[in-house]
Amino acid sequence: MKDFVKMTLAAILGCLIVGAVMTFIMLGIIGSIAALGNTQPVLPREGILTIDMSKITLDEQTVPTDITGVFEGQTRTSMGIWTAVRAIQAAALDPSVKFIYLKPDGTAGEMGCIEELRTSLERFRTSGKAVISYIETPSNASYYLASVSDRIFMSDYDGGMNMITGFSSQMMFLKDILDKLGVNVQLIRHGKYKSAGEMYIRDSASPENMEQTRTMVNSLWRGWAEKMAAARGISLEEFNGLIDGLELDTPEDFLEYRLVDELMTREELGSRLSGLYGAERIEDVRSISFSDYATAKVIPNYRAEDKIAIIYANGNIIDGYDKEQVAGDRFAAMIADARRDSTVRAVVLRVNSPGGSVLASSKIRKEIDLLKEVKPVVASYGSYAASGGYWISSSCDYIFSDASTLTGSIGVFSMIPDFSRTADKIGIGITTVSSGRHGDMYSGMRALDSDEIAYMQGSVEEIYDTFTSIVAEGRGLDREYVDGIAQGRVWAGADALDNGLVDRIGGLEDAVSYAISMTGSSDTDINSWLTVEYPKPMTTVEMIMEMLGQNTSVFGGTPLEGVETAFRNWDESMTGQVYARMPYEIRIDGFGQTSSF
């Protein structure tokens, strides 16, 4: 017995020692990774600023180093669009930067960020410095960026693939699989274009949804295609004809149709770059990493007496205090802090949200209205400012939108799933005891009756009326006119400018400059102001600790993955809630292709 106790105690002590050692090792790893983001790079005295889009991902805000990326050998670095814009602005004035060498292959990020990066490169050229691009596998996004260049060189190697095919949108519909699972989704909405819940009740798109999606996709493509065609001195019709006719295949095709200036190998490119630099050999040319340059040059001006606050409303609008999404209570408190801070002279509300909870949107908007009473508030729209994203921002003093922003979607819906048939299918008996006729109305275990549907429809109608009224008031429009362009319809930013939903096409840099001008200060130089960001980005350590607690997908890679995505994070508190959200989100992947879900 004594030996057993000794062995047990020894085993426990051994486990404690191993646990302590592993804890110290983990803390060391975390500290080492955190230190990666704290080193200050040393830049050469002069050189070429190299922007390699395969090594950066454009985000709304810079995301710290991800531990999984370090272990998996990933080389992409997150860069917030404000950081990227400021770095290019600094390079235009920096005599040590001779010109920009752009490698656009692998461009990835949201459409709004890519559009704003191109605008910044266009402004860089007005400094008299050149932008030179070298492209191997052209895609929608990579060629869109490359087209801003003074010269576009293209690889003449065999095997490159043209990925410039135009935009497309794929919509997912789950009715058939939900029927097989016994799930009946009851959708209550206002707005014939409000299609956010259609995926649960239909097996294909409604005519209204097809109409708005076709208009949106064509508008987005027209905005990009017009810039690409104009930059190369050809008409939009000719450019689209080349794509629709599949005329662009080999590098020689791109050269023949004037989409690039020269074909060359990497060795020939090195010789050309060294000549532009004024060196005899490429070995004598110093390359400056864009990430290193941004780290070294984009430094807050802590000596500034006045501040401009940028509040990033990035993500789904939800209730509560969630750290990753646009949580109503958290953001309302954040906006109140900016209002009370006397050193903050103006606020830019950067919206990149497809919407979400009406309750949370209402809380945020009311704080924006209070903020407007004491200081200017300018909105800047990223890739999305739709439904709840438009609700929270439509009363701002001025609204800037990217041409590719998806906005509007002024409409609301409520969705109540009924799982009673699912229970029958898998052999679960449900017995309900309620205090009255409607005690189990939101239980999800029976269909709504006619009175309950009418009750929910009345709530949706009331909120829709409120939505259109606050838009009319905020934008100075007639409510009847707003109702005509609302009905849940999604608009591209260029079209939203025409119908009065936004004031000007422009990016975050434009919005910050305009906000400064609204303060009445004689000093309108952005660099003279301290820019403070809300919410403060997570540190690397915070991201690691959060990652360690993440849940993984149960049905990833299976036919049920779409259903899991659709109902992820669903709980009974969300049943019957009214939402102001657009039906899809769009991304540009590493090949420059669009996807929606």
Task: Identify the DSSP state of 526.
Answer: G
One-letter-per-residue 3-state SS of 127-161? CCCCEEEEECCCEHHHHHHHCCCCEEEEECCCCCC
pTM of the model: 0.83
Active-site annotation holds for 194: yes
How far apart are alpha carbons 500 and 480 in whole angstroms? 14
Task: Give the pLDDT score at 165.
Answer: 92
Name the CATH topology of 47-164+248-297.
2-enoyl-CoA Hydratase; Chain A, domain 1 (3.90.226)
| Residues 311-335: tens digit of each pLDDT | 999 999 999 998 889 999 999 999 9
Question: From the first residue on, what is the mean pLDDT of each consecutive set of 10 residues in the chain (597 residues)?
Answer: 56 59 53 55 90 94 62 71 96 96 94 96 97 96 97 85 88 90 88 85 91 93 96 97 94 96 94 92 92 93 89 95 92 96 96 94 97 98 95 97 95 87 84 87 88 90 94 96 94 96 97 96 90 79 54 50 51 56 55 42
Active-site annotation holds for 6: no
One-letter amino acid identity for 175?
A: K
CB 47 within 8 A of CB 98: yes
Domains 47-164+248-297 and 307-429+448-545+575-596 share a fold: yes
| 435-439 CB contacts, 8 Å cutoff, 24+ apart | none
| Residues 406-428: tens digit of each pLDDT | 999 999 888 888 888 888 888 88
**398's tokens:** 């001025």
What is the Cα 93 distance to its own chain's centre? 29
Name the CATH topology of 307-429+448-545+575-596.
2-enoyl-CoA Hydratase; Chain A, domain 1 (3.90.226)
Q: Write down the catalytic residue from 353, 387, 394, 596.
A: 387
Task: Give the pLDDT score at 72.
Answer: 47
Task: Give the pLDDT score at 7.
Answer: 59
Q: Which helix (H) or strand (E) holds 26?
A: helix 2-36
How far apart are alpha carbons 279 and 275 in whole angstroms? 6
Task: Give the pLDDT score at 62.
Answer: 85
Q: Write down the catalytic residue from 98, 103, 194, 307.
A: 194
Hey, which residues does 349 pair with through a beta bridge?
311, 379
Q: Which helix (H) or strand (E) holds 99?
A: strand 97-103
Task: Give the pLDDT score at 63.
Answer: 79
Domain ranges of the chain: 47-164+248-297, 307-429+448-545+575-596
